[in-house]
Amino acid sequence: MLGRLALQRLLAAIPTLFGAIVVVFFVLQLIPGDPVRAMLGENASAEEVEEVRDSLGLNDPLAVQFLRFAGRYATGDFGVSIFSRQPVIEEIGQRLPSTIQLALGGVLVAVVLGVPMGVLAAARRGSLIDHLSLGTSTLGVTIPNFLVGILLSFAFASKLGWFPTLGAGSGGLWSTINALVLPSLTLGLAGMALVARMTRSAMIEALGEDYVRTANAKGLSQRRVVYWHALRNAAIPIVTIVGLNFGHLLGGTVVVELVFARPGLGKLLLDALLARDYPVVQGVCFLIAVLFILVNLIVDLLQPLLDPRVQA
C-alpha cells in the first residue's frame, strides 16, 4: 500500500530533518568568522562590531540562540538574512525555481542521452558502438563540468549566438528553455556517463534472461524485445541511480550556475557561507535535506510500480 509506505517514510523523516538542522546549527558556530565583520569590513572598530552583533542577538549564549532558532523553525519561521534583511523563505523562493529547472534539465539530459547510449551499447555489445559510447561516457565524467560549461558557452553562446551567455531567460517558456540548454548539457554530461553505464549493465543482464529468449522465439521485432521488454525490467536500477545522482546533481548546480550566471540555491548557499549569513545557510541546508528525503522517497515508491515483484 503505497500511501501507507509514504506516510511511514514521511514520519521517519522528521527526526532526520531535526538531526540535520541541529548539526548544521552547531557546525556553523564552529567555523571561525563573523557575519558582522563581513558586513562592516576590515576597517570596523571593535565597538561597532560588538554593537551590531549585540543587536542581532549574535552575542547571546549558544543555548539561547539555539532555542530561539529551533522555536522559529518549529513554527515555520525560517528567519531573516543578516545581510539583506529579507526573509530566508523569500531568498530561497526566488532562486529555487531556477535551480529545480536546471536540476531537472540535467536529469533529462542524463536520461535522454544516457539511456539510449546504454541500450545501444548493450544491444550491440562488443562492437564499435559499444566502445565509442563507453569512451564518450568516460569523457563526460573526467572533464570538469566547469570547463565543459565555459567551452560550450564560448562556442555556442558567445561565438555562434544561438544561446544567451548569461541568465535564466527573460520569462517566456521558450526563452527559459533556450537559456537552459547549455547549462543542462553541462550538468547532465557527468550524469549521462553514469546512467549510460548503469543502463548498459542492467540491459545486458536483462537481455540474458529467459523471457527475452522467449520473446525472440515468438518472433517479436528487435525493437519490441529491447525497448518494451528488456528495458522495462532494467528500469529499476536505472531509476535508482538517477535518484541517487540527484544529490550529486544539486551540488553540481553551483558550478554551472556560476559559469552561466544563473540565480540558484547553490550560489546562495556558497555566498551565505562565505559571509557567515547563518539564517540563510541553515534555511538552504534544511531545504536540501527535505529535497533529498523527497527524492529518495519517490525513487522507493516508484520501484513497486515498475516491478510488481518488489514488495511495497
Partner 1 sequence: MYRLGQILTAFAAMVVISASAAHGAPTPGELKVGVVADISTLDPQLMTNITDSSVSQNINEGLVRFKLGSFEIEPLLAKSWTVSEDGLTWTFKLVENAEFHKGHGSMTAEDVVFTFERLTGEELKAPNRRLISSFQSITAIDPHTVELKLSAPDPSLLVKLAQRATAIVSKKAVEEKGAAFALDPIGTGPYQFDSRVTGQSVLLVKNAGYWGTPGTLEKVTYLPVPDSTTLQLAFEAGDIDMIPIEDSLKLAEYEANADLTVQAVPGLWTRFIGFKNTVAPFDNPKVREAITYAIDRQNMVDNLFQGLSTIADGIFAPAVLHRVPVVSYSYDPEKAKALLAEAGYENGFSVDMMVPNTARFIDPATAVQADLAKVGIRINIVPVELNTFITTLSTEQGYPMYLLARGQDPTPDRVIGLWFLSTSIPTTNWARINDPEIDAWVKEGLATMDENVREDVFRKAQEKFFAYNGYYFIDHENSITVHHNWVKNFVNDARNSIRIDNVTIEP
Which of 163, 278, 286, 292 is in the footprint of partner 1 by CB under 8 A? 163
Which of 3, 161, 219, 308 is in the footprint of partner 1 by CB under 8 A? 161
- List, in sequence order, every residue forming a beta bridge with 80; answer none if it has no partner: 87
Nearest residue to 122 (alpha-carbon basis) of 209, 195, 194, 199: 199
Do residues 81 and 279 make contact, with C-beta atoms less than 8 angstroms apart?
Answer: yes
Q: How far is the CB of 104 from partner 1 (least distance, A)?
A: 16
Q: Which residue reads 531573516 in cell numbers?
A: 80
Give residues 90-119 in contact with partner 1 (rule: CB under 8 A): 94-95, 98
- Is residue 136 at the binding interface for partner 1, with CB under 8 A as the rule? no
Q: Which residue reads 543587536 in cell numbers?
A: 55
Nearest residue to 187 (alpha-carbon basis) of 299, 298, 265, 101: 101
AA letter at 26: F
Cell of 126: 562488443
Which of 37, 108, 134, 136 is in the footprint of partner 1 by CB under 8 A? 37
- Is residue 65 at the binding interface for partner 1, with CB under 8 A as the rule? no
Q: How far is the CB of 108 from partner 1 (least distance, A)?
A: 12
Q: How far is the CB of 228 from partner 1 (least distance, A)?
A: 14
Which of 24, 152, 157, 295 is in the footprint of partner 1 by CB under 8 A? 157
Which of 197, 200, 229, 276 is in the footprint of partner 1 by CB under 8 A? 276
CA gap 116, 109 in Å, rounded: 11
- Is residue 36 at the binding interface for partner 1, with CB under 8 A as the rule? yes
Cα dihedral sign for 166, 170, 172, 175? negative
* Three state DSSP letters for 75-118: CCCCCECCCCCCEHHHHHHHHHHHHHHHHHHHHHHHHHHHHHHH
CA gap 182, 262 in Å, rounded: 12
CA gap 245, 190 in Å, rounded: 10
- Is residue 143 at the binding interface for partner 1, with CB under 8 A as the rule? no
Q: How far is the CB of 243 from partner 1 (least distance, A)?
A: 26
Q: Which residue reads 541511480 in cell numbers?
A: 241
Site stretch for partner 1 (CB under 8 A), options 61-69, 119-127, 229-237, 268-276: 268-276
Which of 6, 28, 39, 294 is in the footprint of partner 1 by CB under 8 A? 39
Site stretch for partner 1 (CB under 8 A), options 51-59, 125-133, 190-198, 294-302: 51-59
Closer by beta carbon to partner 1, 182 or else 295? 182
Cell of 118: 546504454
The contact set with partner 1 (CB under 8 A) reads 31-34, 36-49, 51-52, 55-56, 81, 83-86, 94-95, 98, 150, 153-154, 157-158, 161-170, 174-175, 177-178, 181, 258-264, 267, 271, 274-276
